[in-house]
Structure 1
Amino acid sequence: MANFNTHLNVAFMVSGTLSLTVYKAGLIDDSGFLMCVALGTIGGLLPDLDSDNSTPIKLGFNIISFIFAFGLVMHWRSELSLLALIVLWLIGYGFMRYVVFSVFTTITVHRGVIHSVPYMAILGLGLTCLSYYGLQLPLTTSWFYGSFLFIGALVHLLLDELYSVNLSNMKMKRSSGTAMKFYQHKDKWWYLLLYATVVLLVYAAPPFELFWSRLSNPSAWAQLKVGMLPEMIENMLR
């Protein structure tokens, strides 16, 4: 499979190119552009959350552990002494970083249900719902955020599948078919739960029709066409 740097770089390039496209079309603003690039890049690392020794999972749990410990200290800061707060900080961080991390890595299997298309669809739809209903962001922005996270994850899965082909003698490696999965019979109950969750999120998500009408508006793409090439090249092609 592709390594961490490959996933990071390719996800960044793909999300950056797509973000620039919708930005130049006037579909997102400056902050939306930066968020789409970031979310697409993060999405390119998400499927490896089920790998016990992957860089994304270690980095992610480190960040979560710090945030959890900080939240505990901030909640109890006016009620506990300095020594008690230090102890609470260390216990909170240690609990998340070692206990919860150990449980998570025990119950997950690399390239299991987390490393699948429906799981990534859940994350994308979940972010869309969170952005729209929780953060009160505009509908178009919310759908773009969820879509870029999902697209980045698909780039990761596609890269892993491409790396499962031995191009020197055109043979498939043993890992072929284990990356971009829609279903595995041995995990049928997990996949039933995943697809049920996808259906619920699709039902709860903000209206897709409004997002699609905005995305397919000819005026946006006419604006993109005008500024697609440098003025000098456009003059040469006329």
Structure 2
Amino acid sequence: MANFNTHLNGAFAVSGIMALTVYKAGLINDSGFLMCMALGTIGGLLPDLDSDNSTPIKLGFNITSFVFAFGLVMHWRNELSLLSLIALWLAGYGFMRYVVFNIFTSMTVHRGIIHSVPYMAVLGLATVSLSYYVLGNALTASWFFGLFLFGGAMVHLALDELYSVNLMGMKMKRSAGTAMKFYQHKDKWWYLLLYGLIALLVYFAPPVTEFWQQVYDPAPWAQLKVGILPDLLEDYLR
């Protein structure tokens, strides 16, 4: 399987190119461009959340713990004293970082259901709804956010499958087929739950028709043809 740096760099490179493409087409604004890059890169690390000692899970829970503690403080900032807010911040951080983290790692197995396509699809669709319904972002941007998160995760899974092939001897390693999974019989009930969640999230997702209309509209993509080289060729042909 690929290591942390490979997943990070691979997801960042692919997300950067794709985000720059849709940004140049005018489908997302400046903040949307940065968010797509960030979500795509994060997505490239998500499948390894089921590895107890991996860098993504430690980094992810550290960030989540900070955000959770910060949210508690912001919510109670007018009701509590300074000392109480400090205590609340420490308690919130400690709860997420140690209690929730230990529960999560004890319940997950590396390359289990988290390291699968349907699990990442659930996270991608949940991101779309969270962005649109809760955060109030634009419809097109929200769908791109979810797609970039899912796309980054697919880069991760694809890299793991690629690294499961011994190119020198053209042989498949034992890890082949364990990365990009759609179903495993031993976890059939979990996969049934995942596909049920996907159906539910698709049903309640923001309207996708308008998003696809914008994506299929040739006008935004025509802007990608404008550049120095095409202009020089046009002048030359004249």
Q: TM-score, normalised by structure 2?
A: 0.92
Deviations, residues 147-185 of structure 1 (Å, cap 9, x unaligned): 111101100000000001011111111111110000000
User: Matched residues in 2 for 1:98 and 1:188: separation?
Assistant: 30
Q: Relative to structure 1, is the Cα distance of residues 27 and 74 closer, same or farther in structure 2, using a 3 angstrom cutoff?
A: closer
Q: Which moved more, 1:128-137 or 1:86-95?
A: 86-95
Q: What is residue 24 of structure 1 aligned with on the other side?
A: 24
Q: What is residue 133 of structure 1 aligned with on the other side?
A: 133
Q: Relative to structure 1, is the Cα distance of residues 209 and 228 closer, same or farther in structure 2, using a 3 angstrom cutoff?
A: farther
Q: Relative to structure 1, is the Cα distance of residues 138 and 75 closer, same or farther in structure 2, using a 3 angstrom cutoff?
A: closer
Query: Deviation at 1:70?
Result: 3.3
Aligned residues: 238
SS of 1:158 mapped into structure 2: helix
Identity level (%): 76
The alignment's C-alpha RMSD in Å is 2.1
Q: Relative to structure 1, is the Cα distance of residues 78 and 132 closer, same or farther in structure 2, using a 3 angstrom cutoff?
A: closer
Q: Which moved more, 1:76-85 or 1:208-217?
A: 76-85
Q: Does 1:205 align with 2:195?
A: no
Task: Give the aligned residue type for 2:184.
Answer: Q
Deviations, residues 75-127 of structure 1 (Å, cap 9, x unaligned): 55555565554444333322221121111000011110011001101111111
Query: Deviation at 1:236?
Result: 6.0
Q: What is residue 174 of structure 1 aligned with on the other side?
A: 174
Q: What is residue 145 of structure 2 aligned with on the other side?
A: 145
Query: Deviation at 1:31?
Result: 1.4
Q: What is residue 110 of structure 1 aligned with on the other side?
A: 110
Q: What is residue 44 of structure 2 aligned with on the other side?
A: 44
Q: Which moved more, 1:218-227 or 1:5-14?
A: 218-227
User: Matched residues in 2 for 1:72 and 1:226: separation?
Assistant: 48
Q: Relative to structure 1, is the Cα distance of residues 98 and 207 closer, same or farther in structure 2, using a 3 angstrom cutoff?
A: same
Task: Give the aligned residue type for 1:178.
Answer: T
Alignment of 1:46-61 (within 5 A): 46-61=46-61
Task: Give the aligned residue type for 2:203.
Answer: Y
Q: Relative to structure 1, is the Cα distance of residues 230 and 42 closer, same or farther in structure 2, using a 3 angstrom cutoff?
A: farther
Q: What is residue 164 of structure 1 aligned with on the other side?
A: 164
Deviations, residues 121-155 of structure 1 (Å, cap 9, x unaligned): 11111111111111222211111111111101100
Q: Does 1:194 align with 2:170?
A: no
Task: Give the aligned residue type for 1:197.
Answer: L
Query: Deviation at 1:227?
Result: 3.1
User: Matched residues in 2 for 1:24 and 1:74: separation?
Assistant: 37
User: Matched residues in 2 for 1:86 and 1:147: separation?
Assistant: 38
SS of 2:118 mapped into structure 1: helix
Q: What is residue 93 of structure 1 aligned with on the other side?
A: 93
User: Matched residues in 2 for 1:50 and 1:64: separation?
Assistant: 16
Q: Which moved more, 1:4-13 or 1:86-95?
A: 86-95
User: Matched residues in 1 for 2:103 and 2:192: separation?
Assistant: 23
Q: Which moved more, 1:70-79 or 1:135-144?
A: 70-79
Q: Relative to structure 1, is the Cα distance of residues 71 and 144 closer, same or farther in structure 2, using a 3 angstrom cutoff?
A: closer
Q: Does 1:3 align with 2:9?
A: no
Deviations, residues 4-33 of structure 1 (Å, cap 9, x unaligned): 111111111101111111111121112111
Q: Which 5+ residue runs of structure 1 have no aligned equivalent?
A: none
User: Matched residues in 1 for 2:116 and 2:88: separation?
Assistant: 37
SS of 2:15 mapped into structure 1: helix
